Amino acid sequence: MKIETVRPIGSATSLDECPAGERPEFAFVGRSNVGKSSLINLLTGRSGMAHISSKPGKTRRMHFYRINEIWDLVDLPGYGYARVSKSEKMRFNEYVSAYLQSRVGLKQIFLLVDSQLPPQEGDLGFAHWLDQCDLPFSIVLTKSDKLSGSRLEGNAALFMRELAELGIEPVSRFVCSAKAGLGRAELLAFIGGMLPAKTKKRKASTVQLGWMKRGGSS
Ligand SMILES: Nc1nc2c(ncn2[C@@H]2O[C@H](COP(=O)(O)OP(=O)(O)OP(=O)(O)O)[C@@H](O)[C@H]2O)c(=O)[nH]1
Ligand SMILES: [Mg+2]
């Protein structure tokens, strides 16, 4: 999929503030500092689109972007940031979980996991919660440039095994590096495959149906 246009369409810290969900939506979620905003910049090809920081907890609001006027991408605030107060954490959890559970157009949640780490309780817990809510999600292993291929595969396999032991089967699994530009084509192809058929195609089938109708009555 070629990214032609990207525009911010809003940000929110409550369900009421979210823009109307008029398009198929794809959300990026994961632990604070896992690389959500960096990956979104890689996908959109706009380096300054989502704010990146070396300090965790940078993204505090839910940020919505419209892509090619066809689909919406959502950058969610990270969970598990230790320096955020308990009450603020609860508020994050409230609006992120309310958002995830109520958007009808939400096609896929990308749960980002740091490929450098062994399976983390927080990530497994979040995957478990998504599974319990019956929400479709895929795993995206981030920062793959930081480790060797064998360590990467080892950590990835370990994470998927832990999920399997919990009876959880994600829709798909991706490996990405925002730094090395890896995983972009795969993710965009996956998203593209979930979008409705193009208007052009729909027009073609309408024409054919009209012709068939005429043919049938003569
Ligand atoms: N080496 C490497 N560093 C990365 C990669 N992706 C992100 N980073 C770094 O990780 C840090 C956090 O990246 P962000 O994209 O801000 O992470 P985030 O998940 O949006 O963080 P919050 O908004 O705090 O939840 C930054 O210092 C990035 O430069 C990657 O693929 N490789
Ligand atoms: Mg961020």
Q: What percentage of the chain carries pLDDT values higher than 90?
A: 68
Domain-wise residue ranges, the chain: 6-217
At residue 206, the pLDDT reads 45
Using pLDDT thresholds of 50, 70 and 90, give the confidence band for residue 197: confident
Q: pLDDT tens digits, residue range 82-120?
A: 556 666 666 677 889 899 999 999 999 999 999 999 999
Tokens of 123: 């990530």
- In this structure, which residue's CA is closest to atom 27 in ligand 1? 54
Does ligand 1 come within 6 angstroms of the Cβ of 178? yes
For residue 50, is pLDDT > 70? yes
Question: In a mutational test of the pocket of ligand 1, which residue from 41, 52, 65, 81 has the highest number of ligand atoms less than 8 Å from its CB?
Answer: 52
- Nearby residues of 194 by Cβ (< 8 Å), 6 or more positions away: 24, 26, 107, 108
Atom of ligand 1 nearest to the CA of 60: 23
Does ligand 1 come within 6 angstroms of the Cβ of 142? yes
Cα 140 to ligand 2 centroid, rounded to whole Å:
15
Using pLDDT thresholds of 50, 70 and 90, give the confidence band for residue 81: low
Cα 55 to ligand 2 centroid, rounded to whole Å:
10
At residue 52, the pLDDT reads 74
User: Which superfamily does 6-217 belong to?
Assistant: P-loop containing nucleotide triphosphate hydrolases (3.40.50.300)
What's the rounded mean pLDDT across residues 149-172?
Answer: 95
- Nearby residues of 203 by Cβ (< 8 Å), 6 or more positions away: none
Residue 183: closest CA among 154, 151, 150, 152: 152
